[in-house]
Structure 1
């Protein structure tokens, strides 16, 4: 049990490690591992570093990608989410010589509209966060929409320079190399009623900025501003205002002319000469197409113009040629391999969890599952599924009604725009020069008074915009986005056309990377009833989504609570219902473990109580049956030794079949009472049985005590088998011989004649098996080695030995020196062709005999050696000396007579040095 649990814990540990790793990289699990391209979603800026690698702000300012020149992705920096759902956005960036990235990071409210704070943040060359260089917080008095006041980070000789737009003035900050804090270095005032849009340059005299009203100014050495665009007589309308201004290496200003859909350039020293570097004709000639949805430009150190517009990146080289348009980044082989690794790790985690389930159910529980667990697995999912279906039905209806209510609200607010915006005054607006003018401010004030007077989270997140309709085109006038300029064209959609041409209120919605939005648009008419504008009220559905999430969380919470309550009720009811079953299981388990006296006591007066009574009845009958079986087994093992069945690899006598057999290498012992038949004639049959049983009862345990088994009773003795070592068999023989002296002492005290035994012991292969016929079976041992043991027992008396063993036994002893024995030499017996090398074990003989044999052992074995080599005179003299010391030594006497005869008369031709005994 311990090993499966340990394996299960190891598998769970590995799954936890793999799951943790995959969870940390869960962003990659959202990507198709087969996809090698990363499409651009919503580009807002791109720059080139000194190595000509590209940094692009993508994903609606939420992500910065670093790309090689060919578009291969090196790494990505992802924006964070604030503590209360605030959204971080990247608005601008610059890269230094050490490939460290400086970016303007803006924190917006949860609806993605109002700026909460803004930072200058530095990232390392590998994209890792380094430090915050500058931080600025905003309140209601400094309300900004979408972008803050920090602008145009630039580098000069290792110093970081950026500007802070303080509405009426602009402050230049410089972070010098080696310093930790950015300090204000230069301040200039904005012209009256002018508001900063873009700025570039680092030193007075070469600082240029554009305004929201469409002018371009130069900042002089004394901090004064001089307008350099548009100048009187310049062939431009007030709507050709410059956007995204950039200074090239020669001090020329490159900018986007949104109205003309062109990228232009002019030298401030020659402001009347405006050169169009990119226009529709040049695009067509170069095979590119810039959509001008929301274009932005930057300049490389080589003078290349890098253009981004929504989902497209283009590059105009300094020589006027264009690189192919880039619509997506390419994942590197390393990144693809790493993404596959994350997917593989997730797959391994899933497989490990499946393996853990298998181990738990099969190896730990042994495919045994609790009834309670089964009820939980079936009942709880069914209840949860029913509750989820019902909740989702209610939730979907609720969401649908909320969406309908939102659309109605937005339509009403959009229609109310007619009361907030005077159509005649809107029609009179003609150019960006009127940005924040009297009419503009009147519109803004009225709109803010309606939409910004509530602190309720449900009433926040509205996006308001006023558009002017002119010559069938739509232009932006007032918007909650400080990035947008007046009189930027707005695309004509079916909904817009419905409002402009038919005067109907329209609504709809869209989802992009800035969030989910719903909108309502309505016409604005002048006093003559002509449609001159469109009022839009959009709402970031984050508030609705938050409300939805709260409802969903409430539903989930209630489902969890109800499920937990149902689970508790289920557990309680099941516990009560199963208490009787547990008692029954415990009692049955006790009975199964052999506690046959166990009684089941259940007083619930139900079906389980009836089952308990049946179990008690069954247990009583089992007890009775077991008693009979145990009695039968005890009787059975008296006839067939249990070891015999084990040798045949049988568990029970029921498994035994005729012909079952196995070969084993064992020691065979034959023990017999000498002169039993002569003695038995003096006894009655009853006395004979009593005597034999008494004898066997006295000597049989010595066999079992030494891992032997009595295979067969021989009337006056028995045959025993020893499957273990020969030491155990010989030790049993010695102890039986010693026990004989005690046995005879008791017989003498009881008035009975003493008895003597002979023991023959031999070791060798034999075959055990079942013989007989189908109706009568018997275990038996068949082997010539058994016959040798029988012959040895018969030779004990003529050789004057109590225990005779063969050379096989001696060689099998682990330490023969622990036993007292002597070498009898090679003995030739009738019935066996080959002579036997026998030993006389006198270890268990009476003290007198054992002492005499021990004293004469060396001389006796020397005499045997003389005999075997034919030195009969020397052998006879040696045996004579043994006989003089031990006149009862029959083996010495037998050898002496044969030596004398062979010495006197010589040997026969077939004599081979053996002692013949019949």
Structure 2
């Protein structure tokens, strides 16, 4: 059972570690471990640096990938979530020669529509965040709302200098950030012609700066801050619907842009403004097998003269010689990433196996053993209830999501159909080119749409995306959208749904994904006064916001179901508790009896089988109680002769387990405690008085041994031998306290006319063998050790050396805090009966104040004298001991040393003298 529980705890610990690791690597689990390429999904931009490394904005502007020249993924940067649910998107980027990446990071509202702020941010070569270089905030005023993109335009690198534009409405400002700096500086500002609105901008030298407008023109920003039209010039054969998008200036000052109306990428030399060169057309794209469709296409120019062309799921490159490469549809994963993904999936597989093993341990190993019934019920019912609740929450969530989707489509369809009332078809037909951008008709449409959609501040009615399209000559053109990155008269891709609208007049709903995200939408026809379909009105919602709402609902469902589950479990546990209360009461009472609480009475009033069992237990307990009382009385009587500690050292539960020869080796402190000259005193007492005196004396001093975790092993007439299994500190404290108690004891004797007594204590620490000796019919616990002999001899020497407590060096070395005791070194002393000399110490902490003060005062001088003696400087030692005696004439140790030093000084040391003091 213990092994199974230990194994289960270990498995749970491993599962916790695996879960923590997998949570941190959860993105790795979204892809197959055998996939060696991460496909693009929702591309919007790609740029290359001078090392031919490519940076890609992917995943609906949520992620930036860095690819090396071979297309191998180096790192990925993911966008963040704002503190109030806002979302960040990447709108542009550029890389310098050092590998630093600069990006425009746009903060949108939770629905992904309205711009809250924009930043120019820098990332280091490894993709880690470095700094925010520039911030542009936008207030909530309706007149200043920006959709999808803000005012920052086109980050670009020239050398190692960063340039970017800021659309300030009536002017266009150019900023630069020098290499090694983090402070943008405005270096140029150009005025925008009246009624024109900046769409894109490129260049970094005044006079060579170009910007496109929302009405379809391209202007040159002059050095004096003015603007000059360069495209389209009067007389240029254009339809006025050839809107220039994705505008760039190449190294020779030529303009490169995309013409969605003609499905081509064009190049214009401002020196020859009437010559428009086709770099890539639909026909050349089809013939090269590149797969370009000119839908949601962007392009960028590379330092080597090539061009990166980006569509939703692929990147093509037009080389400098005009060749189109095959499409790149994904980033190649490095071997390290593939290996890492395999490790993550291996950990996930191991976690699944651990879960299965944990279930096996729980339900086949542990539940099969004896555990509380309540615990068994919890282990059985909790998984059942949890599984049921998960199934229930899944059904509820699925049903809710379907219902919510249906309601969303119905709401979108209703709003789209209402577009007929917002958009006048006749006026829509009057819009014929991008020149009508923000004209009177355009503004009237925008005002009506805002009046319907922007005045309702309820959360569930926010986040709508609105768009107006014009249908003309079989082509659907963009006219107005909640996306400042989209331009007028950009042809809209044909789909089954919009064909149903323009041909059949139906209201169509569906979902789709583009580089801006996932959407649910509804489109409806717009009619002119003659009943002809002339346009399409669209309302849609970003799925990210809907999914967040669903997640919030799911969390609410899970939370409520969890509360219900907990409530059910509590009810179940309460019912079980009530039903099993009598059994539990019986179990607790029997448990108390088993613990030795024999006076416990089982009281069960259920008047059933359990009540009868309780009465039987009471009868049984009464009989056991009588028997145990006798056994306990016997045991208590026995423990007076054999201490319980003695049995514990032998690892025996009771005296019944003890056998002849049981023994164990321990390291302990041995104390010999005895009354000095008791033999002479006992002659003056009768045998009865002797017994009474010894018992009262031992009764007074014995508890000090027990108070310090020691045990009295043997009584020695007028003293005892005690053992201290723990630190020597406890033995020494007990000795000091008994010596102090002697002063109190003698004062009481003096009060009744008795003479004072004196005692000696010898203390030694060392190994000993403790065990049972004797023969089968007569056993005794005893200690065999040289330490007993040493402690006995020390006690006998206490009087000769003028000490009440003598200890050996082994005791001092065993003290955990020797500085807390007051003692002095007596040097190496040769004791009769022991071969090797012992380093002894006189502990005077428990001596009377007069003795203790004098020994404290002369301690340093005494120990210095002992040192002189040990090195043979007998004269110096004799003089020092003489000074000690002059201050403390009762110091027997100093007197003994003095006479020996005088003898050796006068007659020389004996043969074989080794610096020790011989004491017999």
TM-score by length of 1: 0.64
Corresponding residue for residue 110 of structure 2 = 110
Check the 8 A contact 1:16/1:349 in 2, yes or no.
no
- Kindly state the Cα deviation for residue 62 of structure 1 after the two structures are TM-superposed: 0.6
Matched, 1:128 2:128: yes
Mapped contact 1:361–1:368 kept (Cα < 8 A): no
Q: In the alignment, is the contact (CA less than 8 A) between 1:361 and 1:367 conserved in 2?
A: no
Residue 490 of structure 2 corresponds to which residue in structure 1? 488
Matched residue of 1:270: which SS?
Answer: coil
In 1, are the aligned partners of 2:190 and 2:222 still within 8 Å (CA)?
Answer: no
Specify whether residues 24 and 311 from structure 1 end up closer, same or farther in structure 2 by C-alpha distance, changes over 3 A only: same
Q: Judging changes above 3 Å, is the alpha-carbon distance between structure 1 residues 543 and 315 closer, same or farther for their aligned structure 2 residues?
A: closer
Match of 2:93 in 1: 93
SS in 1 for 2:273: strand
Give the equivalent residue in structure 2 for 1:31.
31
- Aligned partner of 1:449 in structure 2 is 451
Alpha-carbon separation, structure 2, partners of 1:616 and 1:729:
41
Check if 1:68 corresponds to 2:68.
yes
Q: In the alignment, which residue of structure 1 is the partner of 2:195?
A: 193
- 1:242 alignment counterpart: 244
Shift of 1:465: 0.8
Residues 71 and 594 of structure 1: is their aligned pair in 2 closer, same or farther, counting only changes over 3 Å? same
Structure 2 CA distance for partners of 1:22 and 1:323, relative to 1, 3 Å: same
Change (3 A) 1:314 1:735: closer
For 1:512 and 1:609, the matched residues in 2 are separated by 75
What does 1:675-824 correspond to in 2, within 5 Å?
none
Moved more, 66-75 or 578-587: 578-587
Q: 1:388, CA displacement in angstroms?
A: 5.5
Q: Per-residue deviation at 1:325?
A: 1.2
Q: Is the 8 A contact 2:389 2:565 kept in 1?
A: no
2:601 matches 1:610: no
Aligned-partner Cα distance in 2 for 1:426–1:190: 27
Asked whether 1:368 is paired with 2:377, we answer no
* 2:319 matched residue in structure 1: 317
How far did residue 625 of structure 1 move?
14
**What is the CA–CA distance in structure 1 between the aligned matches of 2:302 and 2:550, rounded to whole Å?**
47
Q: Who is 2:277 aligned against?
A: 275
Q: Deviations over 1:222-248 (max 9, x none)?
A: 111111111223232211221111121
- What is the Cα deviation at residue 347 of structure 1? 3.5
Cα gap change, 1:390 to 1:624, in 2 (>3 Å): same
Residues 103-130 of structure 1, C-alpha deviation per residue, up to 9 Å, x if partnerless?
0011111111111111111111111111
Judge conservation of contact 1:361–1:369 (CA < 8 Å) in 2.
no
SS at match of 1:210: strand
- How far apart are residue 616 of structure 1 and its match? 6.4
Name the structure 1 match of 2:180. 178
Counterpart of 1:379 in structure 2 is 381
What stretches of structure 1 of length at least 5 have no aligned partner?
A: 627-727, 737-918
Instruction: Give the stretch that moved more between structures: 474-483 or 612-621.
Output: 612-621
Distance 1:202 1:514, change over 3 A: closer
Relative to structure 1, is the Cα distance of residues 360 and 271 closer, same or farther in structure 2, using a 3 angstrom cutoff? same
Q: Which residue of 2 aligns with 1:149?
A: 151
- Indicate if the aligned counterparts of 1:175 and 1:182 stay in contact, CA closer than 8 A: yes
> Is 2:405 the counterpart of 1:436?
no
Counterpart of 1:16 in structure 2 is: 16
Q: Alignment partner of 1:489: what SS?
A: coil
- 8 Å contact 2:219–2:227 — kept in the other structure? yes
- Pick one of 190, 194, 217 that aligns with 1:215: 217
Measure, in 2, the Cα distance between the counterparts of 1:370 and 1:2: 15
Q: Distance in 2 between matches of 1:169 and 1:561?
A: 59
SS of the residue aligned with 1:271? coil
Alpha-carbon spacing, 1:318–1:390, altered in 2? closer, same or farther (3 Å): closer
Tell me, what secondary structure is at the counterpart of 1:177? coil
Q: 1:555 to 1:735 in 2, by over 3 A?
A: closer
Segments of 5+ residues of structure 2 without an aligned counterpart are 629-770, 780-920
Q: Distance in 2 between matches of 1:320 and 1:486?
A: 29
CA deviations 1:42-79 (Å, max 9, x no partner) are 11110111210111111111111111223221111111
Q: CA deviation at 1:578?
A: 3.0
Change (3 A) 1:438 1:19: same
**Superposition RMSD on alpha carbons, in Å?**
3.4
Partner of 1:461: 463
| Pair 1:415–1:249, CA change in 2 (3 A) | same
- Checking the alignment, whether the CA contact within 8 Å between 1:297 and 1:306 is kept in structure 2 is yes
Give the conservation status (yes or no) of the 8 Å contact 1:458–1:543. no
Output the CA distance in 1 between the equivalents of 2:548 and 2:78.
Answer: 23
CA distance in structure 1 between the partners assigned to 2:132 and 2:118 by the alignment:
10
Please state how far the C-alpha of 1:392 moved relative to its aligned partner: 5.4
How far, CA to CA, are the matches of 1:91 and 1:499 in structure 2?
32
Q: Give the equivalent residue in structure 1 for 2:53.
A: 53
Q: Is the 8 A contact 1:162 1:172 kept in 2?
A: yes
- The structure with the largest alpha-carbon Rg is 1
Q: Point out the more displaced range, 199-208 or 247-256.
A: 247-256
Aligned CA distance change for structure 1 residues 282 and 392 (closer, same or farther; 3 Å): closer
Please tell me whether residue 231 in structure 1 is matched to residue 254 in structure 2.
no
Q: Residue 361 and residue 423 in structure 1: after superposition, are their counterparts in 2 closer, same or farther (change >3 A)? A: closer
Q: State which of 327, 334, 337 in structure 2 corresponds to 1:335.
A: 337
Determine the structure 2 residue equivalent to 1:895. none
Match of 1:41 in 2: 41
Tell me how far 1:382 sits from its aligned partner. 4.3
- 3-state SS of paired residue (2:295): coil
3-state SS of paired residue (2:274): strand
Cα offset, 1:390, TM superposition: 5.4
Mark the CA change 1:330 to 1:440 in structure 2 (over 3 Å): closer, same or farther: same
Distance 1:594 1:224, change over 3 A: closer
Change (3 A) 1:9 1:730: closer
Query: Counterparts in 2 of 1:822-841, with a 5 A limit?
Result: none
1:2 Cα shift?
Answer: 8.2
Partner Cα distance (2:66, 2:531) in 1 = 53
Q: Residue 204 of structure 2: which of 199, 202, 205 is its match?
A: 202
> 1:435: Cα distance to partner?
1.2
**Cα distance in 2 between the residues matched to 1:730 and 1:159:** 96
Aligned to 1:422: 424
Query: How far did 1:594 drift?
Result: 10
1 CA distance for matches of 2:57 and 2:279?
24
> Are the equivalent residues in 2 in contact too, given 1:466–1:477 (CA < 8 A)?
yes
Note the alpha carbon deviations across 1:735-778, whole angstroms, 9 max, x for none.
99xxxxxxxxxxxxxxxxxxxxxxxxxxxxxxxxxxxxxxxxxx
Distance 2:176 2:772 in 1: 104
C-alpha offsets along residues 365-395 of structure 1, whole Å, 9 cap, x if unaligned? 8833321122223334444555555565555
Measure the CA separation in 2 of the matches of 1:734 and 1:245.
Answer: 113
CA contact 1:426–1:533 (8 Å) conserved in 2: yes
Closer/same/farther in 2, CA of residues 329 and 609 from structure 1, 3 Å limit: same
Counterpart in the other structure of 2:541: 539
Which sits farther off after the overlay, 71-80 or 342-351?
342-351
* Contact in 1 for aligned 2:97/2:159 (Cα 8 Å): no
Distance 1:734 1:540 in 2: 96
Give the 3 Å change call, closer, same or farther, for CA 734–198 of structure 1 in structure 2.
Answer: closer
Match of 1:799 in 2: none
Residue 164 (1) aligns with residue 166 (2)? yes
Shift of 1:606: 2.8
Alpha-carbon deviation of 1:14?
4.2
Contact 1:19 1:345 in 2 (8 A): no
Decide whether the 8 Å contact of 1:213 with 1:432 is kept in 2: yes
Residues 513/462 of structure 1: CA separation in 2 closer, same or farther (3 Å cut): same
